[in-house]
Amino acid sequence: MQRPRRELDDHLKNDIDYHQTLVVQTLTSSEKVIADKESEFDRRLTALQDRADRLVIMYQTPLHWCVEGWTSVYRKAKAGTVTSISSPLVATGRNGYRFSVLVYPFGHDSGG
């Protein structure tokens, strides 16, 4: 249904508060959607950064893995609470092999 131009102009002038409310509601809704998307993006970016931090790139260099708190790790393994630890993921090159090392500080299947 089309309204005459004059009637439409009157409608826009008389209902300006209503239209402003609609604009505010639309902007508020859009801001929430953007905030949700931004939050999801941040979560995914953090997950990717964590994965990248765990990936050690090797290009013809020796691998050194320092286990922090070795004494504590060894005690837990001896007690049987945590029997193994895993190294960060390592890559031999951009398109090379990827691997990690699994260590049993108190030995595998030992415990008396």
Query: pLDDT tens-digit profile of 17-73?
Result: 888 888 899 999 999 999 999 999 999 999 988 877 766 665 566 778 889 999 999
Token pair recorded at residue 46:
């953090």
pLDDT recorded at residue 44: 94
Q: Mean pLDDT over residues 70-83, rounded?
A: 93
Per-domain boundaries in the chain: 1-54, 55-112
Which residues, 6+ apart, have CB-to-CB distance to 83 below 8 Å?
77, 104, 106
State the first-to-last Cα distance of the chain, in angstroms, to the nearest integer.
Answer: 88
Strand 85-86 and strand 102-103: the pairing is antiparallel
**Lowest-confidence region among 1-5, 43-47, 77-81, 98-102:** 1-5
pTM: 0.44
